[in-house]
Structure 1
Amino acid sequence: MRKIKDNSIVLAIILLSLILILFLQKFGYKSYSRYVSDTLHYNQGIVVEISNENIEYDEGLKLYLGTQDLKVKMTEGNEKGSIIEVTNYLTKTHSVYAKENMRLIINVDTPDDIEPYYTVFNYDRRFSMAACAAILIAAIICISGSKGLKSLAGLLYSMFIIIEFLLPAVFSGWSPTWTSILTAVLSTAVTLLLLNGQSKKTAGAILASTTGVLCSLILFGVMSALIHIDGFCSSDTEGLLLINENTNLQIHDVLFASVLIASLGAIMDVGMSIVSALYEIYMHNPALSAGELYHSGIEIGKDMIGTMTNTLILAFTGSAFVTLLVFFSYQVQFNQLINSNYLSIEIAQGICGTFGIVLTIPAASGIMALLLTRSRTNKNL
């Protein structure tokens, strides 16, 4: 009973989130699809025989090129149990080299009044990804125990609220800015409440993380106005315009949601780290003043700034790495590259996310110093 009471707030937030999402799915979200794909299905099949093979291995590209005639036993969909024949084309841009007993995803096209058409879509990666995820989960639980389980639960909630609330809400024309802020607050609150329950540490970390996120968004608002970037500068503008015509998607502000989601995890990490460190310091020396605790938090934060800012900037750089390689092949000049829409957006996201991390440190230090010393002052009174 005590555990339920301690987690009453987080349980209430999760329950209200579920109710809200179910209501919005029924009455609030708009539906739009650019393509009619009722006749297309992507189902699993197992290669039972390679009846003919005309392939060669490209040593330079390290790829198989050519064709394979496959017999595949379908294990899903309307064709389940049947054996189909499909020609597998291996090209430089789509080289799915099949072997016997290998699981593949088959694109099954079944238009009306026409024989079904089969193509090899890709490898069936579900089991391998699930196995690697299971290894990660096992490592987290072995090292962190119950805290690890709670962190995984927080991650699941964050992904749930992004996929089931943020994406469809923004898609339906809601404000990307306010919707992403609400998502960040809910995700932060649930994640940190699960980890530490209803405590001063949790309250301080939630307030500090929210402050960091808001600082990041404020700077992005200023920076986007100064360098003239918005959702219309993205590479998917054409698709966004088509969605806008049907759902009133607010294209101009969609990048706010992108920046917030990209930086939220790192900001939460910094906020929780500072708060936990100050809490432990205070528990060992309750005589410390608010000013002393604040300065301790800043000193701890100085060591974190270098690594955490590197983490975020390198994460953005890593996501752009392949595109930058292609840019090099075009002999892109510096002024052309630095002022391109793509790189301007990446740089703005990196700068603003890092700004949120840096500002989280004084916010966490000040908030926690006040929370801890105020309780001591109240006791003295």
Structure 2
Amino acid sequence: MGANHSHGPAAPSSRGTVWATLAVIVPLSLATLTALIWLWPPELTSTGQPPAGLQRVTGTITAVTLTPCPQEPPADGQPPGRQPPADPATCGDAKVELTSGPRTGHFITSGLPSGPGSQKFAAGDDVILIHTPGGELEVSPYQISDHDRSSPLWLAGVAFAAAVIAFGRWRGVMALVGLAITFVLLLLFVIPAILTGQQPLLVAIVGAAAIMLAVLYLTHGFTIPTSMAVVGTLISLSLTGVLSYAAIGIAQLNGITDESSFYLDVSYRINTEGLLLASIIIGSLGVLDDVTVTQAVTVTELAHANPGYTFAQLYRAAARVGRAHIASVINTIILAYAGASLPLLLLVSVGDQPIGEVVTNPVIATEIVRSVVGTLGLIAAVPITTALAALASARRATPDHRSLATARHRRRTDPLTDSVTRS
């Protein structure tokens, strides 16, 4: 009897646990859906097209003719001969076969982009060109703008999807569907709503809740552990938002750290401080759901393997797993931010500024606040989700299960008693 209890499947969730979970999840889902409909932005006029009179076309370079680079005049305050020379691979002309637009199949000649930071082009490269109708006769109306990366990106996307499906099978398919929903909500709701003047913080909270509900349930199923992960993520995300608001106020950050945020503030009158809060919340969600799902599943597996475990036993065992997980995830977060800010860190190193001036720079201070707040929310997610999942799973245990679990725990902690019993 004891062996059957210890190795058999865990008892199903109690009716009280199911109803208590539904009492939280259903209102949360309805509130998220209502807010999503209320805040959904009107259709925006697309601003992704080139200015009037310009046309974006594609082509393939068939030949490149390099010419000597002209000598650039010295910049203001710079002595002659000290200015950096142009890259010889960026000076010349390219013969391009057009692959789109009204002159598809025709060959044109365009000058190669030159100057600091210009890309290098070679025969066989797919490129994007800007066509200026009615341009001056001595200047080609076609100008090479950039590499055409459509095919490599499609290939990378197909390889990514194939790997996810091959390993995850049906769950991998659902993960891809959840990823598509994430992009749809970000591109059709979060970004347009902020551009239309909605409060960025409110939009981020509603968008993050919608993404969380859709992705977690699609990927992991409509189960009690998934619901515990959802509730734990929501509580941790709310705590992250409160900490972010307090940290930004204490550090006196206004969210303007680069040309993009400055342009949004000047041209669109967007609340950049709220935009910074929104970016912290959305960025934290990606790591939070990983931690909360892991903790909820860990507790469930422990309860399945040891149906007699009490709430305290489940919590302690799963918390040990959570601490190990957090230790590695924190390093991942810091390395991710360092990698994204590597050019800035190099400039700081070259400038040889004192460390006190470096960390108080608005750009560095913003990243520090983002990292610290995200890490605090992540740390809080472990005990919160573990406690919720343990509370839901411990109710499955019967008195016989608890007695058996207690006896096993005593045998593991008292080798002498265990040896006497076996003898």
| Closer/same/farther in 2, CA of residues 34 and 265 from structure 1, 3 Å limit | closer
1:360 aligns with 2:374: no
| Closer/same/farther in 2, CA of residues 167 and 116 from structure 1, 3 Å limit | farther
Stretch moving more, 343-352 or 332-341: 332-341
1:298 aligns with 2:312: no
Unaligned stretches of 5+ residues in structure 2: 1-24, 70-83, 399-423
Match of 2:121, SS state, is coil
Residue 275 of structure 2 is aligned with which of 245, 251, 254? Answer: 254
CA distance in 2, matches of 1:113, 1:242: 34
CA distance in 2, matches of 1:216, 1:309: 15
% identical aligned pairs: 21
Give how far 1:111 is off: 6.2
Q: One-letter code of the match for 1:364?
A: T
TM-score of the pair, normalised by structure 2: 0.76
CA-atom RMSD, angstroms? 3.2
Look up the match of 2:122: 98
Look up the match of 1:177: 201
Give how far 1:108 is off: 2.1
| Closer/same/farther in 2, CA of residues 31 and 374 from structure 1, 3 Å limit | farther
Residue 333 of structure 1 is aligned with which of 347, 350, 354? Answer: 354
Stretch moving more, 283-292 or 28-37: 28-37
CA distance in 2, matches of 1:252, 1:170: 12
Give how far 1:157 is off: 0.8
Kept after mapping to 2: 8 A contact 1:96/1:123: no
Kept after mapping to 2: 8 A contact 1:65/1:91: no
Q: One-letter code of the match for 1:162?
A: L
Kept after mapping to 1: 8 A contact 2:299/2:393: no
1:187 aligns with 2:211: yes
Kept after mapping to 2: 8 A contact 1:31/1:172: no
CA distance in 1, matches of 2:246, 2:38: 36
Kept after mapping to 2: 8 A contact 1:230/1:254: no
Look up the match of 1:54: 67
Look up the match of 2:339: 318
Give how far 1:29 is off: 5.4
Stretch moving more, 299-308 or 331-340: 331-340
Match of 1:94, SS state, is coil
Give how far 1:141 is off: 1.5
Unaligned stretches of 5+ residues in structure 1: 1-8
Look up the match of 2:95: 71
Kept after mapping to 2: 8 A contact 1:180/1:260: yes
How many residues of Structure 1 are paired with residues of Structure 2 in the alignment?
355
Kept after mapping to 1: 8 A contact 2:280/2:374: yes
Kept after mapping to 2: 8 A contact 1:21/1:165: no
**TM-superposition CA deviations, 1:35-91 (whole Å, max 9, x none):** 9713333321011333x32269xxx99x65342322211112233232221011344
Match of 2:101, SS state, is coil
CA distance in 2, matches of 1:53, 1:162: 44
Look up the match of 2:133: 110
Give how far 1:109 is off: 2.7
Kept after mapping to 2: 8 A contact 1:55/1:66: no
Kept after mapping to 2: 8 A contact 1:67/1:89: yes
Q: Which one has more relative contact order, counting CA pairs under 8 Å at least 6 apart?
A: 2
Give how far 1:348 is off: 0.8
Residue 43 of structure 1 is aligned with which of 57, 66, 69? Answer: 57
Structure (1 or 2) with the greater strand fraction: 1
| Closer/same/farther in 2, CA of residues 320 and 75 from structure 1, 3 Å limit | same
Give how far 1:341 is off: 0.6
Give how far 1:298 is off: 1.3
